[in-house]
Structure 1
């Protein structure tokens, strides 16, 4: 067997368990009421340890553990810990360090938020040999690579926006 394949096999995280909200080595996402309804790509983000425990910057000076600020994940993007410097242990150390940093920070919706917490973890582990992770990059990559937990997760993410668009179209049509 190719040595790279052996390394990849030894660096895999556990299995995702959606029923228990365990998403090892994943970035997870959930909608924020009102904000996501108007802008469906904007939501709340967290990052999970290799054990599947989710850490999210939930508010000023607070990083939650396995209790996301806006509810259960509706999307996830599983990454490869072999691309983190130090493998699984590097992954876990970076997520823990980023969480410790953000426990000392004030939350700011626009420039130092849950996405910034996840970006900091990825930068600390130099995921995929990069230290250029940021909230805009993560938003677009989650849109492209994120998988919905279920059809209900998809509906929870998009239905309110769809209803608002439909109402707007009906109002515009009847006002002509």
Structure 2
């Protein structure tokens, strides 16, 4: 795209500059504007774990005791285009920007282009799923935080699919997620390793008695 396509109406090129309605807009200025716009778009996708902002992402945090024993099982939420996390935290309650059980240790950033209607479709789906789960009883086995995220994905018809459920969402996340940081890795696995060490020690010393 040339700089002249940015302007409508009468325009003339003079001395490497574009003259439009008596005002001079240099080609460099047009390039600068495009650079700024591109940077803003890139920044809108930037993960900021310190502020707990995960745009277009599914996020995960350990559950006390349960994750210590089965480290793949945890609490899940989904973030808006602005990175604000919504998670089904308990009966008739969907938290906003205050994830139950602590800050995320893992995340999976999805492609907003695969959501129906893009950014608007993503945010509307997250909002609608959250409104629905504000009226539901939490059931850890049948209707839980994974189900809330699955509903959001179904509503936005992510990747042209509307058959997400807690099991499918769990599997996709497990195989595609990244750790937020090394601390997130430790927070996820260290309790499990300590439990294994304790059990191993008990078994070992009990045989020696």
SS of residue in 2 equivalent to 1:46: strand
Separation (CA, whole Å) in 1 of partners of 2:179 and 2:203: 32
Pick aligned residue for 1:19 from 50, 58, 72: 50
Highest Rg: 1 or 2?
2
CA RMSD between the two structures: 1.7
| Counterpart residue number, 2:68 | 37
Could you tell me how far 1:175 is from its partner in structure 2?
Answer: 2.1
Separation (CA, whole Å) in 2 of partners of 1:158 and 1:133: 27
Pick aligned residue for 2:172 from 119, 141, 144: 141
| Counterpart residue number, 2:124 | 93
Separation (CA, whole Å) in 1 of partners of 2:95 and 2:206: 47
Separation (CA, whole Å) in 1 of partners of 2:152 and 2:114: 13
Unaligned runs of 5+ in 2: 2-37
SS of residue in 1 equivalent to 2:45: coil
- TM (normalized to structure 1)? 0.91
Indicate the larger mover: 93-102 or 134-143.
134-143
Separation (CA, whole Å) in 1 of partners of 2:186 and 2:171: 19
Work out whether 1:105 is the aligned partner of 2:136.
yes
Separation (CA, whole Å) in 2 of partners of 1:136 and 1:172: 34
Unaligned runs of 5+ in 1: 2-8
Indicate the larger mover: 129-138 or 43-52.
129-138
Could you tell me how far 1:143 is from its partner in structure 2?
Answer: 1.7
Q: Deviations over 1:93-114 (max 9, x none)?
A: 1000000100111111111111
Q: Which has the higher contact order (CA 8 A, sep 6+)?
A: 1
- TM (normalized to structure 2)? 0.77
SS of residue in 2 equivalent to 1:155: helix
| Counterpart residue number, 2:183 | 152
